Amino acid sequence: MRQIIGRLIFLIGTLVICYPLYAGIFNHVTDDIRLRQFAKKSQIEQKTRLDTLRKTNEEMERKGLNVQYDPFKEDATFDEVVLNEHLIGELTIPKLSATMPVFDTITNQILENGAGVIPGTSQPTGGRNSHSVISAHRGLAERELFRDLNQLKKGDVFILTILGETLAYQVIHLDTVLPEDTEVLKMEENRDLVTLLTCTPYMVNTHRLLVTGERIPWDTTLTKTKDAAKQKSYLKQILLFVGVLIGIVILIASLWRQIWLYRMSRRKFTLVFYDVPKKRCLVRRIIFKYLCRSWIRPR
């Protein structure tokens, strides 16, 4: 019985430890479904919304950026929203094999499900005299998001697909600043900029990591790069799923075998042996296997 309890505890512990893995797989599938449904929206509907965001950027160009708050402050509070109403596209970072939904604003709910545009900055629709700041978490157990953002270097590329428009940005500089230092986030004349913002150091979160990219022309090479990154991400999730599933099946099978052995050890069998002359023996070489109470087969 002790072995059953021990293996049951081990199984439960393994399931708890593996939670980030299967939760991440589930979230990846959920994101993929959400983005596929979003891509099916009519071109007219997407163009109408794209025009609305561009008008917002035109007004932003006249007024300048106004970063209203740090989305990672402990006392930051946001209103809850319907995610699909604020979904505008996806962000792909080929070097990290990462793809995530992008929303047009920031809320706690959005930060738990993807990346969001910080209010007071441009929407990521492209265009000169614009600077969009997109923020996401690093430390969520069940989502990768910007966890490995610090691995990006100058020259790396990230890709935004916003309401049917695909835009590529090349990293031009990385900065580490204090949360209140928003002066570095500003428009630059005739430049199309996007900054990816997250907390740093990892799980300490005393500073903010800013990875700024400038728009570059789109070409077929970038299409292949984007597709390869998505395929690598899918393959990674499939391998994780298969690995976790096999591990759980092995643990459950081991536990079931232990329970079966325990039940067999509690059963009683009556064996009757008769001394039969060798010549009259009808059945020969009968082999009996038995277990003692310790469930160990005696030698």
Q: How many residues does the chain have?
A: 299
Catalytic residue, candidates 131, 199, 281, 292: 199
Specify the 3-state DSSP secondary structure of 130: strand
| The two three-digit tokens of residue 24, written as one number | 């991440």
The whole-angstrom separation of Cα 137 and Cα 139 is 6
CB 207 within 8 A of CB 179: yes
- Strands of the chain (E only): list them: 87-93, 98-103, 115-117, 130-135, 157-162, 165-177, 192-200, 207-216
Helices and strands: H and E segment counts in the chain: 6, 8
Active site residue 86: no
The whole-angstrom separation of Cα 37 and Cα 109 is 19
Active site residue 199: yes
Catalytic residue, candidates 28, 86, 131, 137: 137
Distance, first Cα to last Cα, the chain: 22
Strands 115-117 and 130-135 turn out to be antiparallel
Which sequence positions are flagged as catalytic? 137, 199
